[in-house]
Structure 1
Amino acid sequence: MPRDYAKYVEDVTEDIKTCIGDMACQPILFVGSGFTKRYLKGPSWEELLKELAARCPEIARQFAYYKQRYPDFVDIGTEFSDRYNDWAWGAGQEQFPKELYEETSSPQVYIKYTVTKILKELLATGKPGLPDEIELLKKIRPHSVITTNYDELLEGIFPDYEAIVGQRILYANHSSFGEIFKIHGCVSQPESIVLTRTDYEEFVKRKKYLSAKLLAFFAEHPLVFIGYRAEDPNIKTILADIDEILSEDGKLIPNIYILEWENRDLSEEYPRRERLIPVSDHRSVIIKSVVANDFSWVYSAFGANEALKNVNPRLLRALLARTYQLVRTDIPRNPIQVDYKVLANVTEADGELAKLYGIADGADGLAFNLNFPYTLTTLGQAMGYQAWHACDRLLRTIAETTGVDLKRFDNKYHCAIMNGAEVQSHRYSEACKDILEKVRSGEEYIHDVEKEAEAKGHRN
């Protein structure tokens, strides 16, 4: 089969579906400024600074002067902030609301107000382009969205998701669903915008707490970077924080993807599928690369799991929050009468909790769950691993040594849960745990695998 772009799409789509099925959860989107540029013709960071310079008479020199003097855009933002403060307290007083002149206001408030004005004007006057892509993006139903963007384009695309801005992220309940984490602030709260050197220093101080909270997301969900270049410092910072947890010996991190746009005809190409990204002078990480000039097929692949198709994120988030409060507060303090027998039946009987939330079809899956109790993640935990990656490597070892890919067909070790013609998730048995223990310990396992493959009439 030729290795052209059609083959690339087929291979990458299969990889994405396998990752989502194995992790048995929705992906998380990590969104940068390229996203707003693609769909709303929004400014890059440099273009935003140029627009800020054009609006302030106190910034008298050409932008090239500031770029020569301050190679880092953060320092240009700091310089411009000072010039905006001078303008606001001089000839520009009529340009800003009176409440910004309170003694308690930050001197940076004037440039941040202008940033807010620019981005709100963009959203109010511009209509998002590529509507077919946006509709497919919505169907992904991401667990959460994380963004360094200030604008509110994402809130319009995911109207049932709750925006959590700035410091509130540190106190958010991260077991919830359907949230947009705006880690660099938002135009809805101009003071939250991270723009100057002081802002970034403050952000770095609390970043370790933010990274710790987000790490659980990244370990248990597929993660997709959209609207970033691979060289973007935001990506390097995040990957540096999670490298030691998710990457073993410099190997590929199998659940992190970066979506890269190429403005050319790719039909005769088979682009790269991995990206080596330096995160410091002596460390690099490898993540999966998806190269495209049309994102429709990529969004379709990430949206293939329709398990949450009819679920309202706002309602599910409220139910999860109430459950969290019940477990953490109400039951320990015992302010309510709790029927523990009912709770036990709901949590132990297969499907009952899902039915309580209104997201199950009520089918009797008890026998299935007894025979195949594990997702790849819980299988990894049962074997003493932190996540699912090590089990996936053991399964690949079996495929390489026996020619039998156990995940390609239903057998006593594995069974696929189907949603129409699509694989929704993969489940694994106690027998699978036993065979993986043999692989890990170097015991003989090849005969057992080959015997099962022959019984099912399936060999690679």
Structure 2
Amino acid sequence: MARNYEKYVEDVTEDIKTCIGDMACQPILFVGSGFTKRYLDGPNWEELLKDLAARCPEIRQFAYYKQRYPDFVDIGTQFSEKYNDWAWGAGQDQFPKELYDEASSPQIYIKHTVSQIFTLLLANGDHKLAEEIELLKKIRPHSVITTNYDQLLERFFPEYEPIIGQRILYANHSSIGEIFKIHGCASQPESIVLTRADYEEFVKRKKYLSAKLLAFFAEHPLVFIGYRAEDPNIKAILADIDEILSEEGKLIPNIYILEWDDRDMSEEYPRRERLIPVSDHRSVIIKSIVAKDFSWVYSAFSANEALQNVNPRLLRALLARTYQLVRTDIPRNPIQVDYGVLANVTEADGELAKLYGIADGADGLAFNLNFPYTLTTAGQAMGYKYWHACDRLMTTIAETTGVDIKSFDNKYHCAIMNGAEVQSHRYSDALMELLEKVRSGEEYASEVIREAELKGHRR
């Protein structure tokens, strides 16, 4: 097949589904200002500063500040001082009286204005790309992390709980269904990270924040949306991840960056990886997804039907009491869960276990016992560091026998379906024995062919 964009979509989709299947959990979304620009025509950093400059008569033309201060944070700091001067002079009628309390921060006036900008944007703006937004919602991410001030994500994920500013340090990160607003929120103007002093305070806290979030990044697919690859927020997070999770020059297999490209790419096969410098001497490699229309990407990351039927707010309350059980079982749960099951959790013995896939509900227990492995855990059981080695062994089986084990359900493999699409793959002890034979050079072809013929899948 030609290596065109259609092939690219097919290959990336398979990679995403394999990653989710192997990690057996939903992704974490890391969302930047490009997200708000895409769906609400919101401002990026520079556009926000230009808007702030136009509103305050104490501020000169924006170009003056851009010449003197190449870092937008320093421009924001200068603007904050100008807003303070204006608020205590000719602009006193522009701000609420309560902001003039002596206990208020001198930065509150610019932050109040930023809050108004994003509050009005959300109230008056029309969402764009409605179909794409509906597919985004179906991802049902484990959590969302954002540097955005606006509340667009809360509108898209109304059952998720926003965790703002300092509260993140004390949040229970074993939970699910939360929006971590690490640079503050328009709903709480004082929480907004805008000036040099704000960023210095944020950097002091960041090591504690990173320690809390690294477990997330190790156990879940992570998707950057609305950022440029050169964005300092991405570099800061990847620098922390690099110290813990990656090896020099190795691809981090569970981290993706979704990059927008407006060109006609129908005859192209865009890049699949991105090399991102995180310091003067180190770089990391993550997976790149290049697209103009994000619909197919969101579809690839979408949750299975069981998770789509779960109310994150109710589930969060359950997880607070049962974290160890849920973390390993609910993401892999092949049982169809509906609100009836959730409503019975506190009323009927055994319903909680059924929800978590460890009781006899729709043969859930039998499934988990018979197909306990993802590709990643199978690789670990065989002594490999990553899932790719097991995948290569299965490719060898397909090439030598003509049987693609992953293409149908059999004693080695079973697919978990999301409607008509495969959501993830699970594997049995029989596969482990088969892969050991392949690795050691023992004869295995006859039993694979026999199983395929038994299932009517000999090609």
- Judge same fold: TM > 0.5, yes or no: yes
- Aligned to 2:393, the other structure's residue is in SS state helix
How many Å separate the matches in 1 of 2:439 and 2:322?
Answer: 46
Look up the equivalent residue of 1:456 and give its one-letter code. Answer: E
Deviation at 1:451, TM superposition (A): 4.9
Higher mean displacement: 247-256 or 376-385: 376-385
Task: Find out whether 1:115 has 2:110 as its counterpart.
Answer: no
Post-superposition Cα deviations, 1:392-437, rounded to whole Å, max 9, x if no partner, equal 032134246664775455555543333443223222334555677x
- In structure 2, distance between residues paired with 1:123 and 1:400: 50
Q: Distance in 1 between matches of 2:415 and 2:170?
A: 37
Deviation at 1:113, TM superposition (A): 0.4
1:136-166: per-residue Cα shift (whole Å, max 9, x none)?
1111111111100000011111111110001
Is the counterpart of residue 394 in structure 1 residue 389 in structure 2? Answer: yes
Q: Supply the distance in 1 between the matched residues of 2:244 and 2:444 (Cα, whole angstroms).
A: 31
Once the 2 structures are TM-superposed, how far is the Cα of residue 300 of structure 1 from its aligned partner?
1.1
Give the corresponding residue for 1:8.
8
Q: Deviations over 1:88-112 (max 9, x none)?
A: 1111111111111111111111110
The residue aligned with 2:33 is: 33
Counterpart CA distance in 1 for 2:119 and 2:417 is 44
Contact 2:359/2:365, CA 8 A, preserved across alignment: no
The answer as to 2:208 corresponding to 1:209 is yes
Given that 1:395 and 1:406 are in contact with CA atoms closer than 8 Å, whether structure 2 keeps it comes out as no
Q: How many residues align?
A: 429
Return the offset for 1:258: 0.8
Shift of 1:245: 2.8
Q: Is the 8 A contact 1:21 1:423 kept in 2?
A: no
Give the secondary structure class of the aligned counterpart of 2:77: helix
Normalising to structure 1: TM-score of the pair?
0.86
Superposed displacement of residue 287, structure 1:
1.0
Question: Which residue of the partner structure matches residue 228 of structure 1?
Answer: 227
Percent identity of equivalent pairs? 81
Write the deviation string for residues 259-279 of structure 1: whole angstroms up to 9, x where unpaired: 111112111211111111111
State the SS of the aligned residue for 1:123.
Answer: helix
Q: Which residue of 2 aligns with 1:335?
A: none
The alignment status of 1:103 with 2:102, answered yes or no, reads yes
For the Cα contact (< 8 Å) 1:414–1:427, is it kept in 2? yes
Q: Residue in 2 aligned with 1:159?
A: 158
| Inter-CA distance 359–87: structure 2 relative to 1 (3 Å threshold) | farther
CA 1:38 to 1:152, structure 2 compared with 1: closer, same or farther past 3 Å? Answer: same
- Is 1:52–2:47 an aligned residue pair? no
After superposition, the Cα gap between the structure-2 partners of 1:326 and 1:20, relative to the gap in structure 1 and judged at 3 Å, is closer
**CA deviation after TM superposition for structure 1 residue 230, in Å:** 0.6
Instruction: Tell me the distance in 2 between the aligned counterparts of 1:136 and 1:445.
Output: 45
The answer (yes or no) to whether the contact 2:95–2:109 under 8 Å persists in 1 is yes
CA pair 410-74 structure 1, distance change in 2 beyond 3 A: same
Distance 2:147 2:443 in 1: 50
Taking the TM superposition and a 5 Å limit, the aligned residue runs for 1:70-109 are 70-109=69-108
Do the aligned partners of 2:304 and 2:417 also contact (CA within 8 Å) in 1? no
Aligned partners of 2:146 and 2:181 also within 8 Å: yes
> What is the rounded CA distance, in whole Å, between the counterparts of 1:80 and 1:42 in structure 2?
20
Q: Match of 2:123, SS? A: helix
For 2:189 and 2:379, how far apart are their aligned partners in 1? 44
SS at match of 2:284: strand
Change (3 A) 1:315 1:146: same
Give the whole-Å Cα distance in 1 for the aligned partners of 2:441 and 2:458: 13
* Amino acid paired to 1:2: A
After TM superposition, give the deviation of residue 177 of structure 1 in Å.
Answer: 1.0
The two structures have a TM-score, normalised by structure 2, of 0.86
Shift of 1:18: 1.4
Aligned residue number for residue 270 of structure 1: 269
Q: CA contact under 8 A between 1:411 and 1:452: conserved in structure 2?
A: no
* Alignment map for 1:33-432 (pairs within 5 Å): 33-59=33-59, 61-303=60-302, 305-323=304-322, 353-356=352-355, 362-376=361-375, 378-379=377-378, 390-399=385-394, 403=399, 407-408=406-407, 410=409, 412-432=411-431
> Do 1:176 and 1:317's aligned partners in 2 also have CA atoms closer than 8 Å?
yes
CA shift for structure 1 position 453? 3.4
Letter in 1 for 2:317: A
Distance verdict in 2 for CA 1:252–1:357, change over 3 Å: closer
| Matched residue SS, 1:307 | helix
Question: 1 CA distance for matches of 2:439 and 2:136?
Answer: 46
Letter in 1 for 2:50: K
Structure 1: which 5+ residue stretches go unaligned? 328-345
Contact 2:379-2:389 within 8 A present in 1 as well? no
SS at the partner of 2:187? coil
Whether the aligned pair in 1 keeps the contact of 2:376 and 2:387 (CA below 8 Å) is no
Q: Secondary structure of the equivalent of 1:396? A: helix
Map of 1:334 onto structure 2: none
Q: For the aligned residues, what is the CA RMSD?
A: 2.8
Q: Secondary structure at the match of 1:456?
A: helix
Unpaired segments ≥5 residues, structure 2 = 327-344
Give the aligned residue type for 2:393: I
